[in-house]
Amino acid sequence: MKDIVRVGVVGSKFAADFHCDSYSRNPFARVVAIAAIDNLEPISKKWGIPDTYLDYHEMLARRDIDLVSVCVPNFLHREVVLAAAKAGKHVLCEKPLATEIEHGREMLDAVRKAGVKLFYGEDWVFSPSLRRVEAVLAEGAVGEVLYVKAKECHNGTHSPFAKNKQTCGGGSLMHLGIHPVGWVLHLLGQSGRNKVTEVTGFCNGGAADNFVHKDNTGEDFGLGVMKFAGGQRAFIEGNYITVGGMDDRVEIYGTQGVIKVDLTQGSNVDVYSRPGYSYWIEKADNAVGWTKPAVDEFYNLGYVDELHYAVECVRNDVQPMYGCSGQLGLACVEIIKAMYGSSERGETVRGTWG
């Protein structure tokens, strides 16, 4: 067992920041280096990272790094994961795993051949609220699960890479809807044994066809329906037209009950403010009037436990479970691409995913 897992981070913006935050809470992890083309001084100073690199290949050449966090724009995930695998490093890749299905398959093949672990960063799998839901379901509280509704929505991305269909891999469904897709696969997929067999998608066409974000080449509104081999169905939503802060919700319908979860706006703190204050939830325009400020967003959304899990797998040389694996990450990309194909052709797509 390793005493300390030494981490190198590639990227320096939003995702890199919450990765550093999560590692900083773990006594068995230490971020020893970070590589990016900008923002290096602020992020390294904030988190006390001793070494910085403009070229991540130089960082990967270090023998003391055990795990690499990939926190770059979507279209760069493939090249960084391949380079890390070639350097013999375990890798934790942010969502989506890749922008194209063939790239995801190449990444899985590369880590398999290199004998390193690939972790897929689906934070919902580690959300304390959703883990509690799993425990309640395991007791049979709602009977047999028949139908799940899950969504992640907000008022739009600020990243130029996420606004571009080519560099994002899609639009709001790929950028936001991928979270509920991944979690539903984790919940209902029985570690890949209960496959998705039908997919139907309904999406705006991007640019002029969008509701609000005409400068996005990908869609700003997307819906998808998944049917599992076991008969369960799931309804997925990811949109950029929701104002008032990020809105992540789950509903589960069973033969004996119902579960409803508000992941992002369900704080137990209520504030009424006339002048407003600095921050209450991601993507909120202001904090005037009644708000429910998040208490520990990174923890509640699952990031802290997600990265803790990856560190423990590296320390103990254990392969990741399905819900944190490259296999799940690839299935998410395949399913969302099938939803896009369904939307374009106006028909249900049949196959096997998961």
102-150 per-position pLDDT tens digit: 999 999 999 999 999 999 999 999 999 999 999 999 999 999 999 999 9
Task: Answer whether 173's CB lies under 8 Å from 151's CB.
Answer: no
- Per-residue pLDDT of 234-289, as tens digits, reads 999 999 999 999 999 999 999 999 999 999 999 999 999 999 999 999 999 999 99
Contact 56, 83 (CB under 8 A): yes
Residue 85 has a pLDDT of: 98
What is the CATH T-level fold of the domain 5-123+306-320, as seen in this structure?
Rossmann fold (3.40.50)
The pTM (predicted TM-score) of the whole model is 0.98
CATH assignment of 125-302+333-353, among 3.40.120.10, 3.30.360.10, 1.10.10.10, 3.30.9.10 = 3.30.360.10
Which residue has 């589960």 as its token pair?
252
Pairing, β 118-120 against β 145-153: unpaired
pLDDT value, residue 6: 98
Please write the tens of the pLDDT for every residue from 177-198: 999 999 999 999 999 999 999 9
Q: What are phi and psi of 26, to 5 degrees?
A: -105, 115
Assign 98 a pLDDT band (cuts: 50, 70, 90): very high
Tell me how long the chain is. Answer: 354
pLDDT value at position 123? 98
Instruction: Give me the residue spans of the domains in the chain.
Output: 5-123+306-320, 125-302+333-353
